[in-house]
Amino acid sequence: MFLINCPFCGERDQSEFSSGGEAHIVRPKQPTELSDDEWAEYLFMRKNIKGVQFERWNHVHGCRKWFNVVRDTSNDKILSVYKMGEKPPVNYK
Amino acid sequence: MPNYRIHKTEYIDETKRVSFKYDGKTYFGYEGDTLASALLANGIHLIGRSFKYHRPRGIVSCGAEEPNAICQIGSKKDLTEPNVRATELELYEGLEASSQNCWPNVKFDIGGINNFISPLIPAGFYYKTFMWPKSFWKKVYEPLIRLSAGLGKSPTEPDPDIYDHKHVHYDVLVIGGGISGIIAAKMAAKNNLKTLLVDDKKILGGSTIYQNNESIKIDDKLSSEWLKNETQEIKKLSNLTIKTRTSIAAYHGYNFLLAKENLTDHLPEEKKKNKIRQRLWKIRAKKVVIATGSIERPLVFNNNDRPGILLSNSINKYLDYYGVTCGENIILFTNNDSAYETSISLHKKGIKNLIVDLRKSASSELIKEAQNLGIKIYFNHVVTNTFGYRKINSLEIMRLSEDGNTTVGNKIRLNCDCLGMSGGWTPMVHMHTQSGGKLNFRDDDQVFLPKENSEDQISVGACNGDFDLENIIDKTVNKINKFLDINNQDYQDTKIICSKENDKRNIWLLPNKIPLGKTKCFIDFQNDSTAKDIKLALKEGFRSIEHVKRYTTTGMATDQGKLSNMHALGIVADTAGVKMGTLGTTTFRPPFTPLTFGTLVGRNVGKFFEVVRKTSMHEWHVENNAEFENVGQWKRPWYYPKNGENMHAAVQRESKAARDSAGILDASTLGKIDIQGTDASEFLNRVYTNAWSKLAIGKCRYGLMLNEDGMVYDDGVTTRISENHYLMTTTTGGAANVLSKLEDYLQTEWPELDVYLTSVTDHYSTASICGPNSKKILNKLFPNLDLSDENFPHMSFKEGKLENINCRIMRISFTGELSYEINIESKYGNSLWKMCIEAGKEFNLTPYGTETMHLLRAEKGFIIVGQDTDGTMTPSDLQMDWIVSKKKYDFIGKRSLYRSDTIREDRKQLVGLLTDDPKEILEEGAQIVSDIKSKPIDMLGHVTSSYFSPNLNKSIALAVVRSGKSMKGQKLIIPMENKNINVTVSDTIFLDKENKRLNA
Ligand SMILES: [Zn+2]
C-alpha cells in the first residue's frame, strides 16, 4: 500500500487515490487531421514499463486534483510527484 | 488422573485453577497454561487424526508452527471456531475444545483404515483418482472427500463478536519481543523514536525467558533473569508502546503492516461479553525491525509422527515455562547442540533422558556439561523406526555410515515414552520476504537468510541466522545503531557467556534399511505428505518446487509448511543433485498465521457493510409497500404491488396508468452536476456529441457522452439555467464516473477553460410526473405558473414556488408522455412528493418504479446506457446518428467514430424485435440467430431489453444484432432451452412515432 505525497494535501494512504495510467500523453489538438494509425497511437498505445514510469494519479477521495507521479514499477518506489502542467523531473528520463 | 506437572514456575499461577472441557471430558489446568500445556499436564498427547491416513497425532510444538494440535473451539452455532492451535490458545475457565478430523472419536477412527491402504494413496492421489467419470464429482467424490477431510467446522450463524480496526503511525516498529526485539525496541525508544513493539505471546521474552542453563549468562546472571530486568526497564519508556498477544499478519510495501491483536480470546465467556474480540492494526512505520526468531526443525525418519514425538525445544518450554514434562523416559534425537539444553534441563528436574546425535562427535560447553552429568549420548546414530500406536513406547536406532547415506551395524531398541527431535533451526524470514526482500542460502547450517537489509527494514537475531547469544546481542546492537543512525551505548559493556556450537551435520532424509516405499517419513504432518511423495513427484517429472509443493500438497495446510518447507526443499535438492540454495524457496504469503474474517472486516458488517443511499421520499415508498431495487448504492422503488400483485401485474397497472392518466416517479437518484463558468457552453460542446452553444437560456437538451474510443458512455438532459450556468443530469449509476471524467478533462486537457463542476445529486429531490393529466396536476401545484405549450414547451425550464420554496421545473420526458420534473431542495423532497400525490388523487396519479420506467421508455425506444449499451456501442450502432453533430470540429470520441472498425457495416446495432406470438416475452440476454441448422450456429447478437407492453398489448424487445440496421422486417430466431422463438426485426420505436403524446 503506497503512501502518496499529494502535491496539494501531503502524504496520504493509497486508498484515497485512483491511478490514471501513463502520464504526458497529450490529447491531439486536431484529431480530425490524424490517420487511423496516429489516432490509435494516442488512444490505445501505452508503455507499461518495468522501471521508471511516469503516471497520472487522482486524489479522488481528497482534493480531487490530478497530478503526476514518477514511480519505479520494479520496486514501487515513488521517486517524484509534481503538478499537472509542470515539466517532468529530468533526472529520471 | 496422571499429573505431569512436576514443578512450579513463575508463569503458571497454581492458585488459579481453571477447568476446561476437551472432547467432552472435564480437565483442570492453571492460569498461564495454553490448552496444549494443560493437556500435556493431564498426560494427553493424542489430539487428532491426520488428514489423509487418519494416523493418531499428538502435540508437536509449543507455538504457531503447530501442525497437529488444531482444535474446534466452542459448540455454539455462531461462536464455534475451527483450526485453533492448542499451542497458542490460552486456557480460560469454561473453555470447550474438541479434536478435529476424527470420527467417531479420536481413539477409534474409522478413517484410520486409510493408513493400511496408504500404498494406494500416493502423491497426487486426489488429482489422479477423482478425475473420472465427471458425473461422480458432485455425488460421490466431493461428499466423500468433504466427509473424510474435515478441517473443522465453520460457524453457521453470524458472528456476534465485535471486531475493530485501528490505524497507527510509528517511527519504528519492532516485530517480535524476544531478546533481540527487546534490545532493538529499547535502543529506538531511548533515542526519542516513537516505537511500537509487538509480540504474539502473552508476555515478552521469547525463548530466553525460560532459559536456565548455567553456561549461558549475561552480566553474570542467567540470561532469563537479565532479560526480565530489561523487560521491566522498557516498560518505563514513555515513547515505547508494547502490544502483546499481537501478531503481524502481513508486511506490505511502504512499511505498511497488518497486525492482529487478540483482546478477549484468553478470557472466560462472561468476561468476553460486549468487548472487542480482536483488533486489526494497520501500521505505517518509517522503519521496521524484524526480530521474529527461528523455529526448530523436525527430523525426517520412519514413523516420525507418533503422539509423544515433539520438537526438542518444545519439550524444554513445556518443562521450564509451564512446569510440565512430556514424558518420564525421554529420548532426544538431534543434529545440533540445542537438544542438549533440553536434556540438561530434564536431567535437573529428575527426568530420565538420553541423546541420539547424528553427528560423529561434538564438543561445546553444553555437550561437556551433559557428559559431566552422565547423560548417555549415542553419537553418529540415527532413529530408524518408532513404535506404539496411540503414543510412542520405543524406538530403534542404528549407527550411521561414514558418509551418512546409510545405516550400519545392529539395531538397538530403546524404550521411551517421549521423543524430542531437533533438526536445527529455521530463521523466520517470512516478514523479510513479504516485504519484498530476497534470500541467501547459508550452506553451513542449511538456512535461508535475509540477503540484504534495506534502509526501511532490517532483520536481527535468530531470524537473521544469528543463533548464539553473543552473536545475537552484539550484532543486534551494532545493526540497530547503524539502521536507526543512533549511537546507543547501553550494551557497550554487556558481558556474555555462552556455549558455542562447533559441529554440524544435516541430513534431510535420514537413511534407513527399509525401502522408502515401505516407510512413513512424514514431512508435512498436517497434510500427511511423506518423503516418498516428494520423491514420487520428482520421478513423475516435477521439478519446480512450487509444482512439487502443489502436487504433494506439502506446506499447503493451515500451518503453511512452517515445519515442512525446508525438508521438502532439501529432499528435492538432494534427489535432483542440485545445491539447495539454487532451488529457491516457495513464496511466503500473508497471513503468517490465519486471521479471522471478523478481524478483516472489522466494524463493516450488517448495516455498515455498504453505504446505502436513500432519497428523501424513501419513507413514503416504504409506507406504500414499494419493492426496492439496488441501483449502485441507491435504493430505488422497483414497483409498488397492490393487493397481492406480483411484479408483472403491478408493472402492467403502473404502465397503463402513466399513459392513460398520470404516473409519478422518484427521479432523485439521477446524477446532477452543476456546471458554471464563462466557458460552460464550450465545455459542453466538447463533452457531448451535439451542439450546445445555441441552447437558449431556460431550455433543456438531451446529450450523449462518448468515451474517446467513440463508445457511448452516458446520457442525460442538461438545462441552461442562465448564461453561464447549466445543470447536467447523468444516469444514476454513472454520476460519480461522469464527474470524474469531466474533472479529468478540465484539469489535464483543457485547464484554460473557465468551468466549475459541483456534484449536486444529493442536494435536490426530483418528482417526475408524466401522462396526459400531468399538466392539470402541475396546475394545481403551481397555480401561478403559465403551463401553456407556448410559454412552457417541451424541453424547457421554469422556476416555480411551492408555498415559499423554490422549485426548478423541467418539462422533459423519458416516457414519451407529457411530463414534468420538479426539483426541490432535498429536505423538502418528501413534502413535495406528498403534495404531488395529494394533488394527483383525482387523476389516479399512480406512483411507478424503475421497472415501469424501463418499460415506458422501451415502448419509445429510448436507450438505457448500461442495459442496451455495453461499452462497445457507438451512436450510429444505436441508430442515434441524429445526435452527432457534423459541424463541430471536435468533441470527446469524435475521431473514433470514423475509425475503420467503427464504420464497419456489420457491427452489432440496436434494433427492435417483435415476437410472432405477441404474448411471448423474450428473455433479456437471450442469443439471436438466423439459421438454426448450420453448425456451429452463428450468433448474431442478444436481447437487451424485453417487456410486455400493456399499452400496445404485445411483447416488445430491444436487441443488438449484427448488421441489424439493414435487417428490418427480417425473421430471426431466439433459441431457448425448450423451444425456438420466432421474431421479426422492427423499428426501435414502438409507440407514438410522431411524438404526439408529448403535447397531448
Ligand atoms: Zn490532495
Residue of B32, B338, B327, B352 whose CA lies nearest to B202: B32
Sheet holding B796-802, edge to edge: B796-802, B805-811, B819-825, B764-770, B663-666, B846-847
Per-residue model confidence (pLDDT) at position B147: 54
Give the residue from A1, A16, A33 with the most B CB atoms within 10 Å of its CB, the best one to mutate. Answer: A1
How many other C-beta atoms are found inside a 10 Å radius of the C-beta of residue B379?
17
- DSSP state string for B835-875: HHHHHHGGGT-EE--HHHHHHHHHHTT---TTTT--S---T
Q: Where are the beta strands (DSSP E) in B152-216?
A: 162-175, 195-198
Q: What share of chain B is helix, strand, coil (3-state, %, to 5)?
A: 25, 30, 45
Q: Is B425:B294 a contact under the CB 8 Å cutoff? A: yes
pLDDT digits (tens, 9 = 90+) for B21-76: 999 999 999 999 999 999 999 999 999 888 778 889 999 999 999 999 999 999 89
Domain B671-856 listed as CATH 3.30.1360.120: yes
Contacts of A37 by beta carbon, 8 Å cutoff, 6+ apart: none
- Whole-Å CA distances, A26 to A85, B234, B896: 11, 57, 16
User: pLDDT tens digits for B265-277?
Assistant: 999 999 999 999 9
CA gap B858, B911 in Å, rounded: 11
CA distance A84 to chain B (A): 7
Which three cell numbers, joined as nine digits, stand for B995?
411524438
- Residue-wise pLDDT for B887-935, tens only, equals 999 999 999 999 999 999 999 999 999 999 999 999 999 999 999 988 8
Q: What is the pLDDT of residue B526?
A: 87
Pick from B253, B709, B751: which is nearest to A43 by CB? B709
Say if the Cβ atoms of A32 and B894 lie within 8 Å. Answer: yes
Counting residues of chain B whose pLDDT is more than 70, the rounded percentage is 95
Yes or no: say if B932 and B980 are a contact pair by the CB < 8 Å rule. yes
Same fold yes or no, B1-159 and B307-423: no
Under the banding of pLDDT at 50, 70 and 90, the label for residue A90 is confident
Tens of pLDDT along A13-41?
999 999 999 999 999 999 999 999 999 99
Q: Are B372 and B364 in contact (CB under 8 A)?
A: no
CA atoms within 13 A on the CB side of B23: 15
Assigned C-alpha cell, A27:
490529447
Task: Render pLDDT for B786-827 as a digit per residue (tens, 0 to 9).
Answer: 999 999 999 999 999 999 999 999 999 999 999 999 999 999
When pLDDT is averaged across residues B154-171 and rounded to a whole number, the result is: 95
| Cβ-proximal residues to B61 (8 Å cutoff; 6+ apart), any chain | B67, B87, B295, B296, B310, B311, B314, B563
Domain covering B162-294+427-498: architecture: 3-Layer(bba) Sandwich (3.50)
Confidence of residue B2 (pLDDT cuts 50, 70, 90): confident
What are B22's strand-pairing partners?
A: B25, B97
Q: Which residues surround ligand 1, an ion (CB under 5 A)?
A: A 6, 8-9, 59, 62-63
Indicate the domain borders of chain B.
1-159, 162-294+427-498, 307-423, 525-588, 671-856, 905-999
CB atoms B254 and A1 under 8 Å: yes
Q: What is the pLDDT of residues B314-355, one digit of tens each?
A: 999 999 999 999 999 999 999 999 999 999 999 999 999 999
Cell of B990: 414502438
B593: left (phi over 0), alpha (psi -120 to 50) or beta: beta
Tell me whether residues B747 and A76 touch, CB distance under 8 A.
Answer: no
Tell me how far apart the alpha carbons of residues B69 and B272 are, in angstroms, rounded to a whole number.
Answer: 24
Looking at domain B905-999, what is its CATH homologous superfamily?
A: Aminomethyltransferase beta-barrel domains (2.40.30.110)
Q: Which residues of chain A make contact with B284, given a CB cutoff of 8 A?
A: 3
Q: Which CATH architecture has domain A3-92?
A: 2-Layer Sandwich (3.30)
Long-range contacts, stretch B878-886, CB < 8 angstroms, 24+ apart: B878/B712, B878/B909, B878/B910, B879/B909, B879/B910, B879/B911, B879/B965, B879/B988, B880/B704, B883/B689, B883/B690, B883/B702, B883/B703, B883/B704, B884/B689, B884/B690, B884/B704, B885/B689, B885/B690, B885/B691
Residue with cell 532483520: B459
pLDDT at B204: 97
CA distance, residue B435 to nearest chain A CA (Å)? 11
Contacts of B889 in chain A (CB under 8 A): 32
- Asked if CATH classification 1.10.10.1100 holds for the domain at B525-588, the reply, yes or no, is yes
Cα B116 to middle of ligand 1, angstroms: 66
**Nearest by Cα to B530 from B509, B559, B558:** B509
ipTM topping 0.90: yes
Whether B436 has its CB under 8 Å from any CB of chain A: the answer is: yes
For range B974-995, the mean pLDDT: 96
- The predicted pLDDT at position B455 comes to 76
The CATH number assigned to the domain with range B307-423 reads 3.50.50.60
The closest CB to that of A31, out of B436, B747, B890, belongs to B890
Contact B708 A43 (CB under 8 A): yes
Distances (CA, A) of B360 to B334, B402, B499: 12, 9, 19
User: CA B851, B857, B863, B864: dihedral to nearest 10 degrees?
Assistant: -30
Q: How many CB pairs under 8 A join A and B?
A: 50
CA distance B294 to B283: 23
Burial class (CB in 10 A: 0-12, 13-18, 19+), B236: exposed
Q: Residue B524 pLDDT > 70, yes or no?
A: yes
What ranges do the domains of chain A cover?
3-92
pLDDT at B118 over 80: no
**What is the grid cell recorded at B161?**
463478536
Identity of residue B353? N
The CATH class, in words, for B1-159 is alpha beta
Residue A32 forms contact with B (CB below 8 Å): yes
In this prediction the pTM is 0.88
Whether A90 and chain B come into contact, CB under 8 Å, resolves to: no
